[in-house]
Amino acid sequence: MNTFKKMLIYLCVAAICLLCLIPFVILIILSLNTPQRVFYEGNMFLPDFYFQNFAEGWVKSNIGTAMINSMIITALAITIIIIFCSMAAYTIARFKYKFNTLIFAIMISCMMIPGIINTVPLYTLMIDLHAINTLWGMALVCATLALPQSTFIFHGFIKSLPRELEESAIIDGCSWFKSFWKIVFPLLKPASASIIILNGFGIWNNYAQAVFFLQDSKKHNVPQALSVYFQQFAGAKWNLMAATAVIAIVPVIAAFLLFQKNLIRGLTEGALKG
Amino acid sequence: MKDNKIGMHTFMALPAFFLYAVFFLYPLTKGIGMSLTDWDGISAAKFIGLNNFIKFFQDKRAINDIRTTLLFALGSAPLLNLVGLAYALLMDSKIKGKGIARMIIYLPAVISPLIMGYIWYLLLQPSRGFLYHLMENMGQADSFLNWTAKYSSSMLVLILVNVWQYAGMTMVVYLAGLQAIPVELYEAAKMDGASGIKSFRYVTLPLLVPSIRINVVTNIIGSLSVFDIIMSLTGGGPGYATESLSIYIMRMCYGSKTGYSTAVAIIMFFLILVPVLISMRLTRAKSLE
C-alpha cells in the first residue's frame, strides 16, 4: 500500500513536470524547422535542425537592442529600489516620527493598487517630463511600482535586527545616517536578494507599462520588441517566431536556473512575512 | 538615545516618498480629475461631470469587458489556488528529486506572460498550430475545435494557460506554509483519532490560512488586471469579446479618449478593491479562530 502510494505520487509529479515542459520542447522543435517544412508529413517531433532561424530572428527582430534596454531598465530600477527602500525602511523602523508613520501608512494602503490604474495620467505626466521613450523614465516607473512592497520587506527585516548594533557606533560619535550605511545596510543582503529576485523578473518582463512608455523601436524592451516583431507576421513564419521566442526566454531561464534556490526562498520568506 | 535630534536619518524616507508621490500619488489624484473631463489628450479639456461613468455603463463593449475580466478572475483565481494547493500537497511528501520538480513547475512563472501567450499560440492556433498539425497527422484534423471563434472556448484557453503558467507560484507559497506546520500537530491529531481528510480539515487548513490569504489576494489582483496573456493569445478576439478592462483602458487611451480611459481605471480600481477587501476580511477572521 505504502509503496503503491509513493509510486502514484512519483507518477503524478512526473506528469506535472512533463506538462510544464512540453510547450518549451515543442517551441524548440518549431524553432529548428526550415521555412518550407510541411507539418503533416513525417515525424512532427523530429525537427530539421535548421539553425539559420536563430540568426535571422536575431537580426530582424531587434531583440539584441531590446535585451540591452531591458537590462539597463532592470538594473537601474533595482538600484533605485534597494537604495531608496532600505533607507526609508530604516528610518521608519527605527524612528517614530509622525511623517514616517504617515509615509508608511500611505505606501501600505496603496500597495494593492495595480499599475494599470494610474497608467493613463502617468502617461501624460511622462510626456510633460520628456520621459516617454527613455530608459530612465521606464526604470523610474518600474521602481515606483515596487516601492511599497520592498519598503515593507526591508522594514520587517530591519525590525528584527537589534538596535544595539548601531547604538555602540552612535556612542563612538558616528551619525545614525552613517551607521546605517556602515552597519545595517551590509546586513540587509538576504532581504535585498529577495527583493531583487521578486522584482527583477517582473521588471524585465514588463509589458503593460512598456506598451505606453517605450513606443520608439530603439527603446523597446524584450516583450515589446517581440510583440511588434510577431505582429508583422500575422501567424506566418512559425520557424522565425519560435526561434525569436527561444532567444527571448533564454536569458530569463538562465537567470532563473542561476538564482532558483534564492528565488524560491526569497519568494516564500518575502511572501509569508507580507 | 538621542532619537529626537534632527539629522540626516530624519529625512531618509524622503527620496522614496518623493518618487512615490511624483510617479504614483500625483497621477492617481490627477486621474480622478481627468476622469471628469472629455479630454482627448491634445485639445483643452472640458468638465463633463460624471458623464464618462454614465457612458461606460451604457457602452456594450465596456460591459462585456467587465464580464470578461470577472469571468477570467472567477476561473483563474480559484483554479490557481486549488491546483497550487494540490501540487504543494503532492510535493510535501518525502520523495526524491523534489528540488528539481519544484524548479520545473515554477519555471513558467518567470517567463513574460506575453511571450508565454505567444508560445501557446504557436501550439494551439487553429489550422496552423502544432496541435492541429499533430491531429492532422493522425487523421483527426476535423475534430480540432476552432476555439478562437467562440467566446467560451477562448476564455477557457486563456484561463487554462494562465493557471498553467502560475500554478508553480501558488504552489511555492503553499509549500512554505505546509512546511511551517509542526509535525507534532499531525501526531497529536493522529492520537486523537483524526487522520487523512479530518486532519487536513482541522490541522492543515487552519494553519494554512496565511498562505491562502497571500495566494488569494495576489491572484485576485493579478487576474483582475490581466493584460499580457490576452494580448498575445487572443488579442481580445473574437471581435472585442475577450478584451479585459486593462486592454480597454489602453485602447481608449490610444483612441484619444484620455479622460474616459481614466474613468474606466477608477471603475476598475473599485472592481479590484472590493473582492480584495472581502477576501482579506474573511481570511483575517479565520486566522483568529
The enclosing domain of A138 has a CATH number of 1.10.3720.10
> What domains are there in chain B, each with its CATH number?
53-288 (1.10.3720.10)
Can you give the pLDDT at residue B159?
Answer: 97
Residue B2 has pLDDT above 60, yes or no: no
The pTM score is 0.91
In a domain, A146, yes or no: yes
**Residue in chain B lying closest to A230 (CA):** B118
In a domain, A168, yes or no: yes
In a domain, A101, yes or no: yes
In a domain, A36, yes or no: no
pLDDT tens digits for range B107-117: 999 999 999 99
pLDDT tens digits for range A188-227: 988 898 888 889 999 999 999 999 999 998 999 999 999 9
Name the residue among A6, A122, A167 with its Cβ closest to that of B1: A167
Name the residue among B16, B91, B97 with its Cβ closest to that of A84: B16
- Whole-angstrom distance, CA of residue A206 vs CA of residue B113: 9
In a domain, A16, yes or no: no
Whether chain B has a CB inside 8 Å of the CB on A232: the answer is no
Name the residue among A6, A87, A222 with its Cβ closest to that of B112: A222
Mean pLDDT of B272-277: 93
Can you give the pLDDT at residue A40?
Answer: 62
Mean pLDDT of B255-283: 92
Question: Mean pLDDT highest for which of A167-171, A244-248, A255-259?
Answer: A244-248
Can you give the pLDDT at residue B165?
Answer: 96
Task: Give A134's pLDDT tier (boundaries 50, 70, 90).
Answer: very high
B130 contact residues in A (CB cutoff 8 A):
26, 29-30, 39, 44
In a domain, A229, yes or no: no
pLDDT tens digits for range B189-201: 888 887 778 888 8
In a domain, A123, yes or no: yes
In a domain, A150, yes or no: yes
Name the residue among A9, A230, A263 with its Cβ closest to that of B118: A230
Whether chain B has a CB inside 8 Å of the CB on A162: the answer is no
pLDDT tens digits for range A156-186: 999 988 888 888 888 888 888 998 999 999 9
Task: Look up cell 513536470; give the residue.
Answer: A17
**Residue in chain A lying closest to B179 (CA):** A268
Number of domains in chain A: 1
Domain that holds residue A93: 76-219+260-273
* A122:B8 CB<8 A: no
Task: Give A235's pLDDT tier (boundaries 50, 70, 90).
Answer: low
* A113:B28 CB<8 A: yes
Residue A274 has pLDDT above 50, yes or no: no
Can you give the pLDDT at residue A268?
Answer: 64
| Mean pLDDT, chain A, integer | 88
Whether chain B has a CB inside 8 Å of the CB on A112: the answer is yes
B8 contact residues in A (CB cutoff 8 A):
175-177
